[in-house]
Each structure stands twice: as C-alpha cells, then as structure tokens.
Amino acid sequence: MLILGIESSCDETGVALVDASGSATPRLLGHALHSQIEMHQAYGGVVPELASRDHIRRVLPLTDAVLAQAGLPLSALSALAYTRGPGLAGALLVGAGLACALAYARGLPVLGVHHLEGHLLSPFLSADPPEFPFVALLVSGGHTQLMRVDGVGRYALLGETIDDAAGEAFDKSAKLLGLDYPGGPALARLAQQGHASVFRFPRPLLHSGNLDFSFAGLKTAVLTQVKRLAHARLDGPARSGLADPLSLQQKADVAAGVQAAIVDVLVSKSLAALSATGLRRLVVAGGVGANACLREQLNTACAQAGVRVHYPELHLCTDNGAMIALAAGLRAQAGLAFVDAPAASDYCFDVRPRWPLAELGSQETPGST
Ligand code: KG4
Ligand code: ZN
C-alpha cells in the first residue's frame, strides 16, 4: 500500500510517500519539503495569506520530486493523505484540495490526518521506534500537551497549556530579544553563549500538582528583565521592549535563563506524567523537541528514572509530509476508519483549523471505512 501524504498546515509545504504494506512499520520511500521561513522573516511571523499562496506554488513540484525520488509513477499510489487540521484554514485547503483532487482523478481513498497525530507518531520513522503504550510530550508552536498513548488512535489528554504553548514562549521571548523569526532555534543558538544562572525566570505551575502548563507569564518576566537591563545601560528610561542597548552577553544570559525555565517545566511535568501513569516510555514530538537543551535534560532525567525516551529524527521534528503519510499508513494498518469518511466516499473535503486531538479516539470504530 503506497500512501502519498501532504502537509500544508502552516509555513512548511511537505510531501512524502510511504509504503505501508503488511504489518511492518511504514517505510519512507521519498520526502520533500519547502520551508517558507525566509518569506515570512520580513514580517516577523507567519502571514496566512502569503502562506496559502506559497503552498499553491510549491505543492505540485514537491509531489513530482517525491515520486521521482521513489522512482514511481502517480498510478502506483494506493491512497492519499493530507493534514486536515489544526492549522491555518487557507493553508490547510491547499493540501486538502490536491489530495482530494488526485484521489478523485485516480479513484483512490483519501484520509484527513490530524497534524498532532502526525507529530505524535513521527518517532516511528526513527532508527529507535517506540512501543505502545507511552507518554507523549507534544511541544509545538501552537500546542503543549501531555498525552497517554495506548495505540494508534488511542490518545488520552493528561494535561496541556492553559495559555501560551512552549514554542510560543520561545518565539515571543526571542522577539523581545530582537531575534529573527522563527525565534525558537535562534534563541537556543544564542543561549549556548549564555549562563542560565545569571537571570532566574519563573517556572509557572511547576508545583501545581497537576499536568497543566502556563507560559504566558514568562514573556512578561522577560520583558521586565530586558527593560531593566536596557534602562541601566542607557542610564535613563528604556524604550519599551527594545533589547538593542543590551550587550550580546546579556542577551545570551537572558536567552539561557528563558530556555532553562521552559525546559525545567517540560522535564518536570513529563516525569510527573510518567509517574502518574506508571508508564516507562516517553515520546517527545513537535518543533520544540528539536531543542538540544531539552533533549539533554530529558535524557539525563529519564535515565535516572529508568525511562526510555524516543524522539523523531531531528529533521522530522518540525512540520513535514513524512509524519502525515506515516500516520495515514499506521491508521490503515490498524484498520481505523479514515477520519473524514465523507471525503473517502464522495471526495468532498473539509478542513478543521481547530481540532482537539482527544476527539480522534471518540470518533471512530476500528475496522469501519
Ligand atoms: O511543530 P512545529 O514545526 O510547528 C507547529 O506545529 O507549531 O513547531 C514550531 C515551533 C516554533 O515555535 C519554533 O520556534 C519551535 O517549534 N522550535 C524550537 C526549536 N526548533 C523549533 N524551539 C526551541 N528550540 C529549537 N531548537
Ligand atoms: Zn507542527
């Protein structure tokens, strides 16, 4: 079974092909990605209309490239998959439109995949795939969640952020430090030259006794610190939010302090989730999962607690088509209904810009199509 997957939920166009024949973990046959980072950089963040238009420009050439990589014609495909949500409505429609058009033209089934399910299952493409059940820490630009995962499509929410996501906390702090979009990787790079102990930032909800997160207060603490430092250097009132007067070392120390605060909370809550569920396996997925400091501290903490920790390949941490094709393949192998059954039968399609992952488990029955 050959499945072509298309991701277009935000600022990356990704296309990939997996072979999901038999019961072995689906194998990646080809994968191509175009990141819009450069295009959005001038605006300091994603401009949804520009994102949609760029997806339109990229998605067909990327599809051709993936088929060429795999040495297969379009007629070899057995099914199509696309990111149905959550994400930007206009951007999602591009992937949905192409997947459903191809499915209609070739008379094939089509599957609308949940973006976070793609992230969640992406470590199955790594050299060290996990086994069910496990606790998943999903840390992306829009989501921070701890889930209990008992199998494909069997997800229970343990805790989530009550305001900003961890990626958002990285991005907003980076902006306050005058770093380019996307702020997360830039802040992580700057933090390497800093000392986390110079400025201590709050660890919100660290001892809340539940598995929820809150990161909104962190950006206020960073803003206050940046203003204070700027004020001291200028010896007068600082202009709001401007980090320009700060020395590179001060910026690096702030970056290291912010990163330490976010990582501390993520590590501590992940361990609490493992102990609450009694599970001995942790999967980390989503863009923030690429953060080296997070990986290092999770590895140490999990080794001490006797927990195995699994990550996606580094290049599959952020958005990509491979995780969408993979999730579709794993669903097909598990005998799960295609999520958007109407599209499978009459090729109408819709997207879900807001779509709680927990809805997946309650929507379908194994074996139905
Ligand atoms: O999963 P993803 O690619 O897109 C969403 O579904 O949101 O995650 C993007 C987020 C952004 O907030 C980005 O700044 C963050 O992941 N990110 C990082 C790193 N790489 C990406 N944050 C911290 N350190 C990194 N190395
Ligand atoms: Zn994502």
Output the CA 8–ligand 2 centroid distance in Å.
10
Q: Which residues line ligand 1 (CB under 6 A)?
A: 10, 140-142, 167, 170-171, 182-185, 188, 286-288, 290-291, 318-319
Say yes or no to pLDDT of 137 above 80: yes
**Nearest alpha-carbon partner for 6 in 349, 360, 364, 308:** 349
Please give the average per-residue pLDDT across 99-128, as a whole number: 94
**Which residue of 35, 41, 140, 297 sits with most ligand 1 atoms within 8 Å of its CB, as the best mutation to test the pocket?**
140
Answer whether 113's CB lies under 8 Å from 83's CB.
Answer: yes
Nearest Cα residue to atom 11 of ligand 1: 141
Nearest Cα residue to atom 13 of ligand 1: 184
Instruction: Compute CA distances 215 → 144, 206, 336, whole Å.
Output: 10, 11, 35
pLDDT at 244 (0 to 100): 84
Confidence band for 345, pLDDT divided at 50, 70 and 90? low
Nearest Cα residue to atom 22 of ligand 1: 184
pLDDT at 365 (0 to 100): 39
Please give the average per-residue pLDDT across 154-180, as a whole number: 95
pLDDT at 297 (0 to 100): 98
**Nearest alpha-carbon partner for 79 in 8, 21, 165:** 21
The strand pairing partners of 301, in sequence order, are: none
